[in-house]
Structure 1
């Protein structure tokens, strides 16, 4: 006697797994196209050609090219968040965690320049990421803000570090470094060349901008 449920759940589960596997394959190919031809070089026609299907077949999985971009955006944000979170978890709270997390994020961006451009710049006209795809980005901001608050609480930095202004300063500093590296020295390893070595100045810049309070001995 068959042990399969009468509602056909195992069949649906297999179909769902096959569908998800196809979606991941489409996104893998889309990443390859962007890495080779640029973020704006992505097209459903090219993805379909590499997948070995006709372009209309892709609409069973993605309703539009913008939907593919949104899925890639989410994939990139999730991976970047994981890099930042893992590095921060292995460091002391405060400045050490902030530096470790941001360096891991920058390294990820340099190694995944095609996704970093989609995440941090606006290379695709009219593309607006969905709220679901932005969730990881908000989580990254929260982790950085918490590290700045920890640094201020430990008097590694002054109270002004626990503000939106400090968060914006960190964002500008990091995006400037990774942007210059991707644009001008994309093939150089992290820590070499003209730009990524400057990341080591982050602590000095924050300390100079938000000096710790003088406390009696």
Structure 2
């Protein structure tokens, strides 16, 4: 019985490794040829397998995109979580999280395009995959409410409008940088280097009367 379980574990590990290798290859293709250049045939070629074999792991090209979308969400979540871990609630976490997300996007343009643009006609992430995006938005909503509740920002910061505007600021910087100056570093990019200025304007919009930024930038 133990041997049977061991064989099953090995098969599961091989499958997981092949899936990760396929996603790595797909990312490389998107970096080289653009998101629209991704194909099942090219992924299979880079893995040294026949294309029909790849369908054992991804039922379609859109299923592959869905897995890439999930990978992008997981990595953005990891970047933001690491950035806010030691920051106090509210504005400090919102600012640190936004910086981390924008930096990640500039450094990972292929996945960022998939997350923040619609480069694949007809593709939408599955409900299961997109649930992680909703969780991220819920976290931002919680921090906005904390900022409003503690007096860091006005009560208006705890509204849907404020949440949407926060995403507009972030996605705007990301889109401008990736579209106009791809390949530039986060620190040197003409648009990404304006990250703090863009956040300053956002927080000024909701600053309490006579108040100051609860997390002034360097």
Give the alignment's TM-score, normalised by structure 1: 0.92
Contact between 2:34 and 2:110, CA under 8 Å: does it hold in 1? Answer: yes
Most deviating of 139-148 and 68-77? 139-148
Residues in 1 aligned to 2:138 and 2:146: alpha-carbon distance in whole angstroms: 12
Residues in 2 aligned to 1:35 and 1:100: alpha-carbon distance in whole angstroms: 27
**How far did residue 211 of structure 1 move?**
3.0
**1:21/1:151 CA distance change after superposition, 3 Å:** same
Larger Rg: 1
Match of 1:152 in 2: 148
The alignment's C-alpha RMSD in Å is 1.6
Match of 1:170 in 2: 166
Most deviating of 96-105 and 189-198? 189-198
Most deviating of 31-40 and 88-97? 88-97
Residues in 1 aligned to 2:47 and 2:174: alpha-carbon distance in whole angstroms: 32
Match of 1:95 in 2: 91
Residues in 2 aligned to 1:154 and 1:192: alpha-carbon distance in whole angstroms: 35
Residues in 2 aligned to 1:38 and 1:98: alpha-carbon distance in whole angstroms: 31
Residues in 2 aligned to 1:206 and 1:31: alpha-carbon distance in whole angstroms: 33
Match of 1:11 in 2: 7
SS of residue matched to 2:2: coil
**Structure 1 residues 35-75: Cα deviation after superposition (integer angstroms, max 9, x where no partner):** 10000000011111111111111111111111100000000
Q: Which runs of 5+ in 2 are unaligned?
A: 212-218
Q: Which of 133, 139, 143 lines up with 1:137 in the alignment?
A: 133
**How far did residue 204 of structure 1 move?**
3.0
The answer as to 2:98 corresponding to 1:105 is no
**1:205/1:51 CA distance change after superposition, 3 Å:** same
SS of residue matched to 2:186: coil
Residues in 1 aligned to 2:102 and 2:199: alpha-carbon distance in whole angstroms: 16
Residues in 1 aligned to 2:201 and 2:174: alpha-carbon distance in whole angstroms: 17
Give the alignment's TM-score, normalised by structure 2: 0.91
Q: Which of 77, 81, 85 lines up with 2:77 in the alignment?
A: 81
Residues in 1 aligned to 2:204 and 2:95: alpha-carbon distance in whole angstroms: 16
Mapping of 1:23-62 within 5 angstroms? 23-62=19-58
The answer as to 2:117 corresponding to 1:121 is yes
Match of 1:185 in 2: 181
**1:20/1:114 CA distance change after superposition, 3 Å:** same
Aligned residues, how many? 211
The answer as to 2:178 corresponding to 1:201 is no
Match of 1:211 in 2: 207
Contact between 1:107 and 1:190, CA under 8 Å: does it hold in 2? Answer: yes
